[in-house]
Structure 1
Amino acid sequence: MDEILGQVLRNAVWERLDMLAELANEADSPALISAARSELPRLTQGWRVMLSAHEPDERGDCPTCSTRWHRCKAPCSVWQVAHDHLVAGGLAHFQDSRRTRRLRRAAGPGVSAASSAAPPVPDQPRRVPTPPSGKHALVGGAGR
């Protein structure tokens, strides 16, 4: 049952994000102003709630990302994504991501990060495709 509920919640969030992206790309000015006034406060509050759960503790670890066996130093990936998309305009991950730094260290001295790094990540994150059985997970997907 938790799996079904989780899928329903994920689908609802993806659909809402799709709707907002479509609105931003295709709506006229009055509709955009109306949407901005209603949606921006909700989106900023959602970011605030999520980021507050990832505030570093007294040791400088993220309490949400850390486990009993592995401590995750701040800033965690949630804070890094927030900075990339809210402050740096989605371009910060091209400049010097953790992966690029790790690849540079692994390649050794004298090898540039550009030559050892993987191809750039697209601006939009890849979505997991929704089940082909319909808009909602409960439509034909409960037995999976």
Structure 2
Amino acid sequence: MDQILGQVLRNAVWERLDMLADLATRADTDSLVSVARSELPRLTEGWRAMLSAHEPDERGDCPTCSTRWHRCKAPCSVWQVAHEHLVAGGLAPQQNLNRPWRRTRSTVPSARSKPTQSETTGRHALIPQVATH
């Protein structure tokens, strides 16, 4: 059940990001200003909350990325991505020019070479489809 809920949450976030990206490229000026006024504060607060969770502790480790057996020194990958997208901007190399924020299959580590049926069903689906008889 937790896996399904997690996938539902991830799908909702990916869909929201897709919608905002589409608006940014297709909306008229008035709509774009309206969306910017409502969404930019929400996005900046989201970044702040996420980055706060990754602030280094007194040893200089990221408490969120570190485990009991492996310490992750700051800056962790979350701070590196934040810097790349919020500060470096166009100077940072991008893997996918159309949608640089989207993960592609090649950037997601996997022991399998072929996607499963559940990974190919739906736009962002990874949860298996339940067969009803």
Find the aligned partners of 1:13 and 1:131 in 2 and give their Cα distance.
18
Matched, 1:126 2:115: no
Tell me how far apart the structure 1 counterparts of residues 60 and 122 of structure 2 sit (CA, whole Å): 45
Give the corresponding residue for 1:141.
129
CA contact (8 A) 2:61 2:72 kept: yes
Which amino acid letter does the alignment assign opposite residue 85 of structure 1?
Answer: H
Question: Could you tell me how far apart the structure 1 residues matched to 2:64 and 2:130 are?
Answer: 30
Letter in 2 for 1:126: R
Structure 1, gaps ≥5 residues long: 95-119
Other-structure match for 2:66: 66
1:49 aligns with 2:29: no
1:136 deviates by: 7.0
Shift of 1:91: 3.2
The TM-score with structure 2 as length reference comes to: 0.76
Deviation for aligned residue 1:142: 4.3
Q: After superposition, where does 1:27-42 map in structure 2 within 5 Å?
A: 27-42=27-42
Once residues 4 and 89 of structure 2 are traced to their aligned partners in structure 1, the CA distance between those partners, rounded to angstroms, is 34
Following TM superposition, by how much is the alpha carbon of 1:133 offset from its aligned partner in structure 2, in angstroms?
Answer: 5.0
SS in 1 for 2:65: coil
Structure 2: tracts of 5 or more residues without a match: 106-114
Mapped to 2, the partners of 1:134 and 1:57 lie a distance apart of: 38
**Could you tell me whether the CA contact under 8 Å between 1:62 and 1:72 is conserved in 2?**
yes
Partner Cα distance (2:60, 2:130) in 1: 42
Q: In structure 2, how many angstroms separate the alpha carbons of the residues matched to 1:134 and 1:44? A: 26
